[in-house]
Structure 1
Amino acid sequence: MDPALLLHHYPTSPFSEKARLILGYKQLAWSSVHVPAVMPKPDVVALTGGYRRTPFLQVGADIYCDTALIADVLEHVQPEPTLYPAHLKGVSRVVAQWADSTLFWASMTYSINPKTAPTLFPDEATAQAFLADRKAMRANMTQLRPQDATSAYRSYLRRVAHMADEHDFLFGAEPCIADFAVYHPLWFTQIRTPAAAGILQATPSLVEWMERMAAIGHGTAAPLTSADAIEVAARAEPMPPGGNLLVDSAFQDDHGIALGSQISITPESFGTESTQGELIAATRTHYSLRRTDPRAGTVHVHFPRIGYVLRKVEAA
């Protein structure tokens, strides 16, 4: 199986680095579509219908949101080397979920500060636009204070270092999904905010593990414009439910919302813009909806079940 994989991302996005490294680990070729770091994002919304977090993966007229779901798709596209070794399926996903949330926010709150701003932003106007954009995305979140985030981040780094003391990777001789999820917020501290990277030096085994992760690389990427990506969607037909790149297809109804209903799907916390459309799948692991855009045509947009809220849209 060799579908055309289009990753919509921007170079300094930590979650994008997670996806890029997974593509590299799988030795996959992919198209690199750069998106803006802040709103407005008209080409993004044309494909996702409202979801604005970065990155997302496009395969024809199918749009896969959230790196947790993207990882599952890439595992299906290229099963080896696996992200989910049989003996680690549970613990690796639990650690990845912790890293994508608790560890990530400790890292971001620690790393983005007045000392690191000059390396993050070319000018004050860009800095203020970014900070205002992210503040709006955190409207429903309680954020750590910088002092508390620093203390927590130090503790988390020591705990991860204990794992790296024992193996080349966190759970053994090969990386798993936990490695990619833990790596990307640390990558942001090390690469994007070098003025804050001294916090990593207290854990040498962790730095060595990061070097091994970075050596995986990003696979083979070719640039593609967002306009061309929209044209790809417009020319394609979305894959049928149960026949796409998501493995499970059995309907699991926890909401009393029937397939075919008009629904909205919204992230639980960060970036709470909704995507609306027709519910075409609600399985153990994911939701899928069908929507139509004037430029992109009919697309299927997919979300992981964990971390997202499904609601029925009542007729006006």
Structure 2
Amino acid sequence: MSDLILHHYPMSPFSEKVRLILGHKQLAWKSVLIPSVMPKPDVVALTGGYRRTPFLQIGADIYCDTALICDVLEHRQPEPRLYPEHNKGMARVLAQWADSTLFWAAMAYTLSPKGAAAMFANQPPEVGQAFAADRAAMRAGMTSLRAGDATAAYKSYLRRLANMLHEQPFLLGSAPCVADFAAYHPLWFTRVINPSLAGILDATPDVLAWMDRMAAFGHGHLAKLSSTEAIAIAAAAEPAPLHDEAFQDEHGIPLGSRVTVAAESFGQEPTEGILRAASRTHYTLERSDERAGRLHVHFPRIGFVLREVRA
């Protein structure tokens, strides 16, 4: 069975979501550290354009977006479950809210002018400037919350999470599910990466206690790998055979067409390739890279846009 290779960087909140899931499932994985800002030539060699963090590599298969990565890890190691048997829909919907609405409120608060100044206070000015410029480019076209609005929303969301945790250890019951990991990582960014602003969490002690329970899962069993080694692994492998899943055509674009897939918002750099699968949940593109060889790059349907490339 091919190794799980996570391409990430330490302060990435979505990476922390996946790292904790790897810990919860006690999986072994290879860690490839990537830059937090562009350029990312080794990332693009594998993804073809997609530049959000993290992404998961298994041989010559590249899985983009943490929602899809969660499904891949669940298939790899079904227990303990991310999707409770009788509450799968609720878990997924709550996770989607946490990865979007909660996340952006938390980021707008934690990276407000005051927060950004505190976070980059001990680094050269150009580091903070490069980070701000990179993220501004990724947010092109998005409406960003102002700091005051974000603070008010964040406080409300924390109270709602606290209400869910008042008489149970995790958001949907006695065991963690995908929603817990999705809700945890934006709060982790505030508490761990920019602790000068973590006082906002003090009003919700049930949330803090839950965060301690989540952090205790750790990151599993990791070994370091370089991006050059990861690309060589891809080049030496072939993409795994695709599952015999029904083709769900919502666009009038047949399999075998040249297409692009890009995020709906935030980091909309497209990946171009040949459409090899379009199931009810995900897309698979085949592409080639001079260093990484033939690859299959996988995206979830939700949150991504499929377009045909016309001559």
Q: Specify the TM-score bucket, using the shorter chain as the normaliser.
A: over 0.9
CA distance in 1, matches of 2:205, 2:251: 48
Corresponding residue of 1:138: 139
Corresponding residue of 1:281: 277
Measure how far apart 1:86 and its partner are.
Answer: 1.0
Corresponding residue of 2:268: 272
Secondary structure of 1:21 counterpart: helix
Corresponding residue of 2:221: 220
Measure how far apart 1:61 and its partner are.
Answer: 0.2
The one-letter amino acid of 1:143's match is: S
CA distance in 1, matches of 2:256, 2:223: 37
Corresponding residue of 1:76: 75
RMSD: 0.9
CA distance in 2, matches of 1:58, 1:150: 36
Are the counterparts in 2 of residues 266 and 274 from structure 1 also a CA contact under 8 Å?
yes
Corresponding residue of 1:240: 241
Offset from partner CA, 1:89-114 (integer Å, 9 cap, x none):
00000000000000000000000134
Offset from partner CA, 1:151-190 (integer Å, 9 cap, x none):
0000000000101112111111110000000000000000
Corresponding residue of 1:246: none
Corresponding residue of 1:49: 48
CA distance in 1, matches of 2:165, 2:183: 11
Are the counterparts in 2 of residues 230 and 295 from structure 1 also a CA contact under 8 Å?
yes
Secondary structure of 2:68 counterpart: helix
Measure how far apart 1:118 and its partner are.
Answer: 5.3
Are the counterparts in 1 of residues 118 and 194 from structure 2 also a CA contact under 8 Å?
yes
CA distance in 1, matches of 2:230, 2:150: 38
Corresponding residue of 1:254: 250
Corresponding residue of 1:59: 58
Matches within 5 A, 1:80-95: 80-95=79-94
Corresponding residue of 2:308: 312
Measure how far apart 1:140 and its partner are.
Answer: 2.0
Are the counterparts in 2 of residues 115 and 195 from structure 1 also a CA contact under 8 Å?
no
CA distance in 2, matches of 1:175, 1:130: 33
Corresponding residue of 2:178: 177
- Report the identity percentage: 66
Offset from partner CA, 1:195-242 (integer Å, 9 cap, x none):
110000000000000000000100001000000000000000001221
The one-letter amino acid of 1:296's match is: A
CA distance in 2, matches of 1:164, 1:184: 16
CA distance in 2, matches of 1:199, 1:90: 30
Measure how far apart 1:115 and its partner are.
Answer: 3.5
CA distance in 2, matches of 1:140, 1:153: 22
Matches within 5 A, 1:66-215: 66-117=65-116, 120-121=119-120, 122-215=123-216
CA distance in 2, matches of 1:69, 1:137: 21
CA distance in 2, matches of 1:127, 1:311: 35
Q: Normalised by the size of structure 1, how large is the TM-score?
A: 0.96
* Ranges in structure 2 where 5+ consecutive residues have no aligned partner: none
Are the counterparts in 2 of residues 35 and 226 from structure 1 also a CA contact under 8 Å?
yes
Secondary structure of 1:116 counterpart: helix
Q: Normalised by the size of structure 2, how large is the TM-score?
A: 0.98
The one-letter amino acid of 1:41's match is: K
Secondary structure of 2:254 counterpart: coil
Secondary structure of 2:129 counterpart: helix
Measure how far apart 1:250 and its partner are.
Answer: 1.3
Are the counterparts in 2 of residues 183 and 210 from structure 1 also a CA contact under 8 Å?
yes
CA distance in 2, matches of 1:240, 1:42: 27
The one-letter amino acid of 1:159's match is: R
Are the counterparts in 1 of residues 83 and 177 from structure 2 also a CA contact under 8 Å?
yes
Corresponding residue of 1:7: 6
